[in-house]
Structure 1
Amino acid sequence: MDRTADLDDLLQDLSERADRRLIVLDTAARVVAWSIHESDDDRRRLSSALAHGDSWTLPAVGPDGFAVEDLPETGRCLVVPLHDHRHRVGHLLAALAEPGPPSAEEVRVLLDEVPALGVLLSLRTLYAERDRDRARSLLTALVAGDAAARPGAAEALVGEGLLGSSRQYSAVVLGADPAAGAPEETGRTALAVHRTLDFVASSSTASVVGATLDDGTGVLVFPRPVVGPRLARILARPDVGAVRAGVGPVVGSLLDVHRSFRLARRAWRTAWLDPSAHDPVTHWDDTGLDGLLALLPLESMTVEDLPRSVRRVLAAGLAPELLRTLETYLDRGGDAQRTAAALSIHRSTFYYRLDRLKERLDLNLDDGLTRRELHVGLRVARLARLRPAGP
């Protein structure tokens, strides 16, 4: 029988006997359970622990079995390590609002329950790990497995309470720069998934499921449209700042969420191909042409793969102002007036630069097909990182 709820019951009973607000942390200092926090000060301390606990360095504990520490944005707390039968599994925090050490009786009441709390925390951690493994297996089958595995995975995710039942689902793919290839970035991705799940659990009643896949990317499935700015705030924290997200379109059935996942993955790839042009949280519908170009094997492309007109531009060694003029002209569909306005230059200056471009490149820039070839080709060159430094 699942006894994880007993941790909350015991913690609340202990809080009332000791007349202290209590918080339980796991070994990574993440908040696992807490007693009722009624006052504004209590809720402020709890919010701080939820947001920043895993960045704390908890003190060493002396022979008395506890320590008193000023924790950032939380204040003075009694810190007691929790163990199961063999290992340390976390900490118990008791808020100390008043100056001075806690009384011997308060400490005794808390320490008497520490062994039971440690065992129950160990059980909760075990169940949480089991749920994470189960969610990862089911999510992989749902978004990346074969079609035959999807119905069973979808039924299990909803039936086991890992994901809410809904008429709308959306997938999110998270990850660091795929071109960097740094193994430690997988840890940042896993942390970003964890932070998002924690935020949803602490701020709503929604059931969102997430996991880190074998390739190091993270996946989240929401039973509703994804709020981009909210996800961006989660990813703005320094410890996950190297992670970007792609958001797939909303689908009407969990059986179709693999389509949302496929496009979310491409949106994530697009966000990293040109970070200056795309937001840290990029929705598929906002990727434009780049979302299509992301299908290309850009990492393996060379200059020789580009059209001859584009190769001429790259080989010409154009000054930054000329290259910017060319790109702006292409972006504005060959409209001289709009190009001059976008560059904040006089139209005669623009025409002077255009004549220089025609001479240097030996290309007919008045021809629409040539402009189209250059426009797309130069964009491919930038996404493939074949462009020289500059604009």
Structure 2
Amino acid sequence: MDQLPELDDALQDLSETLGCRIALIDEAGKVVAYSIHESPEDRRRLFHLLTHSDSWPAPRTATAPYSLEELPEVGTVLFIRLLDPQRHIIGHLLLPAVAPGQEETPLSAPLSAALEATEQLAELLGARQQEEARRDARANRLAVTLVSGAAGERESAAEHLLRERLLSSAAGYCAVALGVDPRAATALDNEKTSQAVARTLQFVRETSTATVVGGTLKNHLGVLVFPRPVVVPRLSRILSSPELSPVRAGVGSLSTLSEIHRSFQRAQLAWRASWLAPADHGIVAAWEQVGLDGTLARMPVEDFTLDDLPPSARELLAAVDSPDLLDTLTAYLDTGGDAQRTALNLHIHRSTLYYRLDKLRAALSGDLHDGVFRRELHTGLRIARLAGLVPGR
């Protein structure tokens, strides 16, 4: 992301004036700018600043303009607060409290010069933050248009995302749909969708040089667009945070940017499959892995009743309400009618399987050896499970 250069220049000028290496962190503790660190010791210190600064306790500057803090692997550091026009803390200037070769804290000339520079630094930091917020908001709007707008709008959004370097140029792109099960979603749940989008964007921004865009549609469904295939385990770890529960995600197929809306359509189907059958799919479900469930998710199966099922499934569920029998039939149909494999998969004796199959045959008017009947029953039973019509344990 392009940044306003004035802040970096001002920080380097101040570093030369003070005669020491300095850094600047935002309100969250993340390093946003730093002066040139030349010596091995300076670079070691900078490494710890970059990797640990956002995990440090907040400096004690709520009622004082600066504070001294002892930091592991860094030493004693002077934190000087930066205030916006409303007197809110928006960041801190960090400089070593002890200059090389000194044994006591120098709280005279260097501190005075640093305090004099805080107003300018705060103004420049505020300007950078406003510019970043503006770019983020624009990227969010363009990402939403990219997957939900009319053809001309999608084309324009793609052009602006690449031209303004809001999204990396790549040979293939992948869309992700995020959200909660809409059947029981609360206002708080829907807010978590936006949080999940923001958390993922932040993770990518802090751990790689790639640019990913995302936003939230009016129907509370989130979208992310990656300039590469999505690493499902990594996204799963992000969404597994308790603060983001019950957000789930679907991952679309790899496509060109001009066809990313189709990738998003498949991502939505994978997402629907993940909450229609949460026991069968992970918190992040890929279109290429959800199989038949992704196709069935095109239908409003959550609104189905028994009357919407094929006759064979309707007949079965009207006569059988035993979870054991229904699980047995599903396992039997999954193996294509292989009794030995079914018994092994269910960890039951084959005689127990035959006993259950006899009870099932008695409840069905069709023949389980008939391929057409078995296909209809298998698919109908899967639809019933997605619709929540199969008795649970």
Q: Smaller-chain TM-score range?
A: 0.7 to 0.9
Matched residue of 2:211: which SS? coil
Matched residue of 1:172: which SS? strand
> Structure 1 residues 230 and 72, CA, compared in 2 at 3 Å: closer, same or farther?
farther
CA distance in 1, matches of 2:126, 2:349: 72
CA distance in 1, matches of 2:317, 2:29: 51
Whether 2:25 is the aligned partner of 1:24: answer yes
Runs (4 or more) in structure 1 with deviation over 6 Å come to 69-77, 95-98
Whether 2:90 is the aligned partner of 1:90: answer yes
1:225 counterpart (214, 226, 229): 229
Structure 1 vs Structure 2 CA RMSD: 3.3
> Structure 1 residues 166 and 3, CA, compared in 2 at 3 Å: closer, same or farther?
closer
> Structure 1 residues 162 and 384, CA, compared in 2 at 3 Å: closer, same or farther?
same
Partner of 1:104: 107
Matched residue of 2:50: which SS? helix
CA distance in 1, matches of 2:72, 2:336: 55
Percent sequence identity is 45
CA distance in 1, matches of 2:301, 2:95: 54
The Cα offsets for residues 148-196 of structure 1, whole Å up to 9 and x where unpaired, read as 2222222111111111222212212222333332222343322322233
- Stretches of structure 1 that go unaligned for 5 or more consecutive residues are none
Query: Is the 8 Å Cα contact of residues 246 and 265 (structure 1) preserved in structure 2?
Result: yes
Query: Is the 8 Å Cα contact of residues 180 and 247 (structure 2) preserved in structure 1?
Result: yes
Whether 2:148 is the aligned partner of 1:148: answer no
Report which of the two structures shows the higher radius of gyration computed on alpha carbons: 2
CA distance in 2, matches of 1:260, 1:74: 47
Structure 1 residue 140, shift from structure 2 partner: 2.6
> Structure 1 residues 229 and 9, CA, compared in 2 at 3 Å: closer, same or farther?
farther
Whether 2:132 is the aligned partner of 1:131: answer no
Whether 2:332 is the aligned partner of 1:329: answer yes
Structure 1 residue 95, shift from structure 2 partner: 7.7
Structure 1 residue 5, shift from structure 2 partner: 2.5
The size of the alignment, in residue pairs, is: 381
AA paired with 1:25? D
The Cα offsets for residues 298-322 of structure 1, whole Å up to 9 and x where unpaired, read as 2322222223332343344533322
AA paired with 1:149? E
Q: TM-score, normalised by structure 1?
A: 0.84
Structure 1 residue 371, shift from structure 2 partner: 2.1
The Cα offsets for residues 274-325 of structure 1, whole Å up to 9 and x where unpaired, read as 2221122222111100000111112322222223332343344533322221
The Cα offsets for residues 218-275 of structure 1, whole Å up to 9 and x where unpaired, read as 2222222222223223323333343222221111x32111111111122222222222
CA distance in 1, matches of 2:329, 2:176: 36
Q: TM-score, normalised by structure 2?
A: 0.84
Partner of 2:261: 258
> Structure 1 residues 74 and 40, CA, compared in 2 at 3 Å: closer, same or farther?
closer
Query: Is the 8 Å Cα contact of residues 8 and 33 (structure 1) preserved in structure 2?
Result: no
CA distance in 2, matches of 1:94, 1:316: 73
Q: Residues 113-262 of structure 1 correspond to what in structure 2 (within 5 A)?
A: 113-251=117-255, 253-262=256-265
CA distance in 1, matches of 2:316, 2:96: 68
- Stretches of structure 2 that go unaligned for 5 or more consecutive residues are none
AA paired with 1:124? R
Whether 2:7 is the aligned partner of 1:7: answer yes
Matched residue of 1:219: which SS? strand
Query: Is the 8 Å Cα contact of residues 335 and 342 (structure 2) preserved in structure 1?
Result: yes
CA distance in 1, matches of 2:63, 2:348: 75
Partner of 2:358: 355
